[in-house]
């Protein structure tokens, strides 16, 4: 409540309406999981991701490694692509690679 | 700045109203909240906010749009608050609203524009009677300082992008460098000084319509040519400014703006060249070689998926700066004296500029409602 002698100021930010969503369960071990790799098509993303996957594979044994590509690095991925990645993989690796 | 203390009513005890202790320096208070663009803001009063809401048609809680990447709701009251903070007059409201609706059109991809490491900032160019009515500047120093409407309309957009959109530097705005247009980047076309029909008329609007055009843009690059007395000579200088491998159009294609100064425009139009002739000449002659934009494969083979599929990717191939003449948005802007023009690169194919009519009332009292699909003309 405002007091009788208070000044008023205005909050210029507007309301953010969000629905809380729980994070997916974190994997305890990477061995035996299906790894999805999402390339955002930035200049160096593919190179960075492939080298990272190679390093991970030295340490872990994945059941499968699948590569995916966004159409544009500056636009949202196609929802159908996100659904496919979610359905066919246990964990996902992505990077900006600017 | 001295503030006038007043008693607030219970109706004001709502989401957008914040009580502050008597004697508070509100200019400093807004800085402390992190709600400014780095310059002092005008502390809004209830009367000032209400006047802008009224100019927007009332309905303070009507949500005009949501502003990414924060996706804050831009209600008319919140828009009014930011406009007052920027120093806008209420009569600027139709322009600011239309510009925000244009910026939040999906095709513009404001989410990407706000967050990119590139320096792009939304450029707003206003056409039609409203620009004259509110005293916008498309004349001397149009892109510079000195005009309240230009300065505060552009600033209001930036405050909304910061406060509602959350485009705070280093947080959701990851621009490596930014550019000065991120304070304000708003001009009018110099329709009176142009030998051609205005931009929006070229796109099919009536001269009586008022429009906003928004483009995710780099800063203007000056083009000087004090010698040429023909279209080709002047346009070759613009072609030279366009044909570098460093601007974003060169490597990411998409749209750009070309600003023809009135002296240059008169020379070009005096030889019978139309707007379309100018855009076609620039589109045809502004290019780099594929070997140049791929650094002669010094860093390995490059395909560059950002360029159209149909470009031939061979060392000697010409890679146009824009894929077609329609990707060049031509405006006549500037003072009567001076043989200067400007090239304004865009962000790239990731964002489409948007042209939108402004909901205004003409001299007969008739409402000129937005036209095109949903009031938005996709370019």
- Which range, of A14-18, B236-240, B332-336, averages the lowest pLDDT? A14-18
- CA atoms of B55 and B91, how far apart (whole Å): 7
- CA atoms of B326 and B311, how far apart (whole Å): 17
Which residues of chain B are within 8 Å of residue A17 when distances are taken between CB atoms?
A: 73
Q: Enter the DSSP assignment of B374.
A: G
Report the residue of B118, B164, B348 to disrupt the A interface, i.e. the one with the largest count of A CBs within 10 Å: B164
CB contact under 8 A, A14 and B116: no
* Closest Cβ–Cβ partner in A3, A11, A72 for B16: A11
* pLDDT score of B3: 38
Is A10 in CB contact (< 8 Å) with chain B?
yes
Higher pLDDT: B81 or A75? It is: B81
* pLDDT score of B302: 87
| pLDDT interval class at B359 (50, 70, 90) | confident
* pLDDT score of B6: 38
Does the structure show a pLDDT above 80 at B249?
yes
Over range B70-83, report the average pLDDT: 97
Which residues of chain A are within 8 Å of residue B350 when distances are taken between CB atoms?
A: 72-75
Predicted confidence (pLDDT) per residue in B199-215, tens digit: 999 998 899 999 999 99
Predicted confidence (pLDDT) per residue in B119-157, tens digit: 999 999 999 999 999 999 999 999 999 999 999 999 999
Which residues of chain A are within 8 Å of residue B8 when distances are taken between CB atoms?
A: 2, 6, 8
- CA atoms of B249 and B246, how far apart (whole Å): 8
* Closest Cβ–Cβ partner in A6, A14, A76 for B72: A14
Q: What is the ipTM of this complex?
A: 0.89
CB contact under 8 A, B20 and A5: no
Phi/psi at A64 (nearest 5 deg)?
A: -160, 150
Cα torsion for B19, B23, B27, B33, to the nearest 10°?
-40
Q: pLDDT > 90: what percent of chain B?
A: 87
Mean pLDDT score of chain B? 92
CB contact under 8 A, A7 and B20: yes
Does the structure show a pLDDT above 60 at B176?
yes
| pLDDT interval class at A74 (50, 70, 90) | confident
* pLDDT score of A1: 46
Q: Which of B347, B308, B284 is nearest to B116 (CA)?
A: B347
Report the residue of B9, B13, B16, B176 to disrupt the A interface, i.e. the one with the largest count of A CBs within 10 Å: B16
Calculate how close chain B gets to A35, using CA atoms only, in Å: 25
Q: Which of B186, B130, B196, B231 is nearest to B330 (CA)?
A: B196
Predicted confidence (pLDDT) per residue in B25-60, tens digit: 999 999 999 999 999 999 999 999 999 999 999 999
* pLDDT score of B9: 45
Which residues of chain A are within 8 Å of residue B6 when distances are taken between CB atoms?
A: 7-8
* pLDDT score of B363: 62
* pLDDT score of B12: 44
Q: Which of B284, B283, B374 is nearest to B329 (CA)?
A: B283
Over range B184-195, report the average pLDDT: 98
């Amino acid at each position: 409540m405002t007091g009788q002698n208070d000044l008023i100021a205005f909050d210029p930010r507007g309301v953010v309406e969000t629905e809380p969503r729980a994070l997916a369960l974190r994997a305890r071990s990477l061995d035996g999981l299906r790894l999805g790799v999402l390339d955002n098509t930035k200049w160096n993303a593919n190179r960075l991701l492939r080298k990272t996957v190679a390093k991970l594979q030295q340490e872990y044994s994945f059941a499968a490694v699948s590569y995916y590509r966004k159409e544009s690095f500056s636009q949202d991925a196609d929802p159908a692509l996100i659904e496919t990645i979610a359905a066919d993989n246990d964990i996902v690796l992505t990077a900006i690679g600017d | 700045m001295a503030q006038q203390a007043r008693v607030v009513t219970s109706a004001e005890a709502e989401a957008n109203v914040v009580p502050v202790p008597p004697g508070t320096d509100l200019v400093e208070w807004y800085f402390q909240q992190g709600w400014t663009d780095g310059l002092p803001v005008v502390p809004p009063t209830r009367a000032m906010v209400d006047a802008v809401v009224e100019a927007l048609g009332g309905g303070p809680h009507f949500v005009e749009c949501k502003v990414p990447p924060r996706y804050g709701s831009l209600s008319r009251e919140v828009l009014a608050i930011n406009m007052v903070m920027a120093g806008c007059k209420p009569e600027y409201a139709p322009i600011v609203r239309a510009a925000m609706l244009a910026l939040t059109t999906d095709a513009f991809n404001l989410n990407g524009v706000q967050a990119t490491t590139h320096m792009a900032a939304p450029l707003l160019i206003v056409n039609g009677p409203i620009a004259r009515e509110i005293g916008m500047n498309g004349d001397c120093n149009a892109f510079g300082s000195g005009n309240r409407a230009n300065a505060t309309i552009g600033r209001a957009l930036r405050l909304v992008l910061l406060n509602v959109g959350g485009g705070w530097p280093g947080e959701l705005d990851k621009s490596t460098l930014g550019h000065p247009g991120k304070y304000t980047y708003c001009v009018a076309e110099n329709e009176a000084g142009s030998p051609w029909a205005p931009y929006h008329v070229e796109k099919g609007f009536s001269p009586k319509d008022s429009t906003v055009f928004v483009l995710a843009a780099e800063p203007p690059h000056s083009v000087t040519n004090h010698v040429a007395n023909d279209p080709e000579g002047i346009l070759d200088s613009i072609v030279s400014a366009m044909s570098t491998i460093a601007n974003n159009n060169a490597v990411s294609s998409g749209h750009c703006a070309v600003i023809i100064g009135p002296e240059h425009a008169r020379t070009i139009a005096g030889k019978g060249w139309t707007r379309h002739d100018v855009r076609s000449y620039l589109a045809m002659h502004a290019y780099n070689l594929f070997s140049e934009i791929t650094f002669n494969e010094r860093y390995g083979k490059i395909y560059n998926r950002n360029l159209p599929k149909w470009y031939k990717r061979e060392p000697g191939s010409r890679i146009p700066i824009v894929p077609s003449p329609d990707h060049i948005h031509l405006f006549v802007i500037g003072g009567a004296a001076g043989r200067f023009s400007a090239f304004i690169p865009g962000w790239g194919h990731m964002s489409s500029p948007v042209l939108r009519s402004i909901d205004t009332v003409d001299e007969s009292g008739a409402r000129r409602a937005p036209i095109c699909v949903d009031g938005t003309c996709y370019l």
